[in-house]
Amino acid sequence: MPPERRRVGLVYQDYALFPHMTVRQNVEYSRRGSADAYLGRLGIAHLANARPGALSGGERQRVALARALAREPRVLLLDEPLSALDAHTKVDVRGELQQLLAELAIPVLLVTHDFEDAAALAQRVGVLVGGRLRQLGTPADLVAGPADPFVASFTGANVIYGRAAVDDGETFVRTRDGTVVRIPERLTGDVALAVYPWEVTVSTTPPPESSALNSLPGTIRTISELGNRARVTIDAITAEITTESLRRLDLRVGQAAYAAFKATGTRVVAHSPEQPDVAQIPPR
C-alpha cells in the first residue's frame, strides 16, 4: 500500500516538522479530517500561522501530534516523544499526552528510554535489550517483580550484587564491598538483589539491630531535590525521602549516614546457585 494510503500516525523523536510551512500547513499536509479541530484539541489554534522555528519544544511536539492525528490513524507510533523536552516542559507535556492517549480508541506504540514516561503513558511495558524481550507486563508488574537486574535497574531500583549463604536458618548475602544483607529466601550462591529508593530510610545514627532490617553505613555522595522529595545517595544506595526529613536530619554531602531497608522488601532478581563438588556427586 502506498504511504499516503496507510492509516498510520507517526511522531518522530525530533518531530520532523516542515520548517517552511506554518503550523496549519504542517497539520493540513497529512489531514483526512479538519486541521482546525486538531489544532483546537491540542491547544495550539493560536499558533496556526506561526512557523516551527518560532515554537517552543512543547509547542512543536503538539504540532507533530496534531499532524499525526489529523490522518485519523488506526495506529499511532511515538518515537521517544518527550526526549527533546527540558525537564519542566516534559512533566507538563507528559500529563497532556497521558490525557490525550487515554481518549484515543486506537493502539499506540511508544518507544522510550525513560521508565517514568512508560509508566505514565503505557498500559503494558516491554523491556527490550539487544533485540530480546526481557519482560512484558504492566508498570506495576515490572516494579513488583523485575525479571532480572536490568529490568530492576530500568525501573529505578538499587541493584546489589553478592554471595548468599545460610547460617542458623537465616540467609545472609555478603556484598562486593563486604557489607552483609539479610534476605527472606533460603538460598546459596551468587545473587543480585533489588531495593527501590522509596523503600530505603536514611539516618545519621545506627538504626536498632534487627533481623528484619538491613542497615548499610556509608557516606552521602549526592543529594537531589525535586519538589517535596529528595534523593540521597549513600555510597551505592539511593534513598528517596521527603525534603522535610532532609531538613530535619540536616543531611549534607560528605556526611556519614546509614541506609536502611526491610529484609522482606529485598527482592532477589538473579540467582546462580552454588555447584556441588564433583567428588560429592554419586556415580550413575
Half-sphere exposure of residue 258: CA atoms within 13 angstroms, side-chain side: 13
Q: CA 38 to CA 22: how far, in whole Å?
A: 15
In a domain, 257, yes or no: yes
Q: What pLDDT shows up at residue 95?
A: 84
Residues 213-250 have pLDDT tens digits of 999 999 999 999 988 999 999 999 999 999 999 999 99
Residue 284 has pLDDT above 60, yes or no: no
In a domain, 108, yes or no: yes
Summarised one tens digit per residue, pLDDT across range 153-201 is 999 999 999 999 999 888 999 998 888 999 999 999 999 999 999 999 9
In the chain, the number of structural domains is 2
Q: Find the range with the poorest average confidence among 33-37, 109-113, 276-280.
A: 276-280
pLDDT for residue 136 is more than 80: yes
| Helical ranges in the chain per DSSP H | 23-28, 35-41, 57-69, 87-103, 115-121, 139-144, 149-154, 243-249
> 183: helix, coil or strand?
strand
Report which of residues 231 and 275 the model is more confident about: 231
**Best CA proximity match to 223, nearest among 204, 206, 244, 243:** 243
Nearest to 104, CA basis, from 63, 75, 64, 71: 75
Are 104 and 176 within one domain?
A: no
Cα of 74 vs its chain's centroid, Å = 28
Is there a single domain that holds both residue 17 and residue 92? yes
Rounded to 10°, the helix 87-103/57-69 angle is 20
Domain-embedded: residue 14: yes
pLDDT at res. 275: 63
Q: Which of 78, 98, 122 is the last residue of a domain?
A: 122
Q: Are residues 118 and 67 in the same domain?
A: yes
117 and 8 housed in the same domain = yes
Look at strands 180-183 and 189-195 and give their pairing.
unpaired
Same-domain check for residues 101 and 161: no
- Domain assignment present for 134: no
110 and 7 belong to one structural domain: yes
217 is a domain residue? yes
Residues 54 and 101 in one domain: yes
- Both 7 and 118 in a single domain? yes
225, part of any domain: yes
* CATH code of residue 267: 2.40.50.100
Determine the structural domain holding residue 260 and report its residue range: 156-272
The CA distance from 51 to 20, in Å, is: 7
66, 90, 86: which is closest to 76 by C-alpha? 66
Structure confidence by residue, pLDDT tens digits, 48-106: 999 999 998 888 888 998 898 888 889 999 998 888 777 777 887 888 888 888 888 89
With beta carbons less than 8 A apart as the criterion, state whether 82 and 57 touch: no
Task: Please check whether residue 151 is in contact with residue 133, taking contact to mean a CB–CB distance below 8 angstroms.
Answer: no
27 shares its domain with 100: yes
Give the pLDDT of residue 32.
63
Looking at residue 71, its pLDDT comes to 84
SS3 94: helix
Instruction: Give the rounded distance of the alpha carbon of 225 from its chain centre.
Output: 18
Task: Identify whether residues 191 and 95 lie together within a single domain.
Answer: no
* Residue 46, phi then psi, degrees to nearest 5: -70, -10
Instruction: Tell me if 138 is assigned to some domain.
Output: no
Tell me: pLDDT of 270 over 70.
Answer: yes
265 in helix, strand or coil?
helix
Residue 258 lies in a domain: yes
Q: Can you list the positions of beta strands (E) in 106-255?
A: 108-111, 125-129, 132-137, 158-167, 170-175, 180-183, 189-195, 201-203, 213-226, 229-234, 237-242
Rounded to whole angstroms, the Cα distance separating 158 from 236 reads 8
pTM of the prediction? 0.83
Are residue 33 and residue 93 in the same domain, yes or no?
A: yes
Q: What is the CATH number of the domain that holds 115?
A: 3.40.50.300
pLDDT reading at 280 higher than 60: no
Claim to verify: residue 99 and residue 183 sit in the same structural domain: no
